[in-house]
Amino acid sequence: MPNFTHSKARVILHLDMNSFFASVEQAHDPKLKGIPMAVAGNPKERRGILVTCSYEARALGIYTTMSVGEAKRICPELVIVPPDHEKYRVASNAVFAILRTYTDLVEPVSIDEAYIDITEIGGLTDAMNIAMQMQQRILRELDLPCSIGIAPNKFLAKTASDMKKPMGITVLRKRQIQDVLWPRPVIEMHGVGESTEQRLKELGITTIGQLATVDEHLIKVKLGKNGQRLRERANGIDNRPVDPEAAAERKSVGSSTTLPIDETELQPCLAVLARLAAKVAKRLEKQQLAGQVIMIQMRTSDWRNQSRSRTVMNPIYKEHAIYEEAKDLFQRHWEGDPIRLLGITVSNVIPMSELHVQLSIDSFEHYAKEDQMEQLVSRLEKKFGPNAVKRGFRER
C-alpha cells in the first residue's frame, strides 16, 4: 500500500466508471473500440432500449434510454450488443479490488461507482496524485476508463465526478459551491428527481442557490427531513462517513405472518403477500431504503421452511413492485402444500439518496410509466388529501 503523507482534512474520492457496460464490452472485444456502439436488452428488437452507449455514439446524439430503432436511424452503422451482467460483475469486483490496494476505506454504492476516503493516506496534499494513480491503474490493468471527483464530503465528491467525463479528475472545494453549484438548475443536484423538482418549483425554487438559501423552517414544513437534507447538501454540508461495511451490513427489511388456517388456495395466499408487500414498502419508505434482492419465505403445515429469492436489476421499494416480484416467486415455487406462514424480505438495501437505476430493456418503459403514474397520484392526493388514492394490483 502506498505510503502517502498524512493530512487531517477529510478528503473523499468518488469514482464513477465511464459508460461502464459499453466499456467492459470494448475491453473484451477491441473491435468495438473507437466506433459507435451500444448495449441493449434485445439488439434485434427495434423497440428495445439502449442501456448504455459509447462516447463515440454519444457524440452523434445517441443516448441511454433511446430506442434501438431511433438510434439506428441516427447512425445506421451503430453496433449493438446484448448485456452480459456476469461479465460486468466480474469487472466491477476487479475495480474495487484495485481501490482496496490503496485503502480499506472503500464503499461501493453500485456496480460502477464507489466512495474512497483518502484522508489517512495523503489527504488533499496528495489527492490528485492518488486519483491519477487509481485512474491509470484501472485503465492499464482492466482497460476501463473512469472519472474521479475529489472533495471534503460524499455529496461534493459525487458532484465533482460528473463534471468531466470521460477520464476526468475534478477537485471541488466548499468555497467553490456558490460559483460552481448555485447557478445550476435544482434538477441537476444529486438527490433531486422530477417529483422533488416540481415541489421545489411550487416554492419558487428553481436553482441550487435558491435551495441553499431558502428559509430552513419552510423547507422542513414542505419537504420534511428530505428537504432539510437537500438544503444542507446545497450548502456543501454532508457528514456521512465512507463505510466499507455499508453494502454488506445494511440490514434487510421484511415482514412475515402466520396464517389463521393452513391455506391451500392461491388467491388467499396472494392476498397475504399483498398485505406483507404493503408493510415492507412502508418500512422501506420510513427508513428511506431500497433493495435489490427480494425473498419470500414459506412454511408448510408440517413445519418445513422454504425460501426463494431473486436479484432485480433496479433496487425496489414500492409496494406494487415488491408484490409483483413476491407473487411471481410464489407462483413459480409453491407446489400446493398447505401454507402455515408467509414472509417477504427485501435485502441488499441502499439509501434512496444513492439510488442508481441501471435501465434495461425490461425496465425502462416500466419506469417511464411508473413516473407518470406517481405524478398523477401526487396531483390527486394534493387535491383530495393524503391516501385518497389506493394503488391496485394487476393480476398476471
Please list, in sequence order, all residues whose beta carbon lies within 8 angstroms of the beta carbon of residue 255, skipping any fewer than 6 positions away. Answer: 276, 279, 280, 283, 343, 344, 345
Give the gyration radius of the chain's Cα atoms: 23
- Measured CA to CA in angstroms, residue 146 lies from 14, 113, 293, 340 at distances of 10, 9, 27, 51
104 annotated ligand-binding residue:
no
113 included as an active-site residue: yes
What cell was used for 34? 473507437
Residues 230, 208 contacting (CB under 8 angstroms): no
Query: Angle formed by the axes of helices 216-234 and 194-202, to 10°?
Result: 140
Angle at the Cα of 372 from the Cα atoms of 17 and 361, rounded to 5 degrees: 45
- Measured CA to CA in angstroms, residue 26 lies from 22, 31, 53, 100, 228 at distances of 6, 7, 11, 25, 43
How far is residue 51 CA from its own chain's centroid? 14
Listed residue (108, 162, 90, 157) closest to 130, CA to CA: 157
C-alpha span between 158 and 148 (Å, rounded): 8
- Measured CA to CA in angstroms, residue 61 lies from 50, 72, 172, 277 at distances of 13, 11, 29, 41
Q: Which helix (H) or strand (E) holds 369?
A: helix 364-384
Which SS3 state, helix, strand or coil, does residue 171 take? strand
Catalytic residue among 25, 56, 107, 113: 113
Q: What is the DSSP string of 292-342?
A: EEEEEEEEETT--EEEEEEEEEEEE-SHHHHHHHHHHHHHHH--SPPEEEE
Please list, in sequence order, all residues whose beta carbon lies within 8 angstroms of the beta carbon of residue 270, skipping any fewer than 6 positions away. Answer: 327, 330
112 annotated ligand-binding residue:
yes
Q: Which residues belong to the annotated binding site for Mg(2+)?
A: 16, 112
Catalytic amino acids?
113
Binding residues: 16, 112
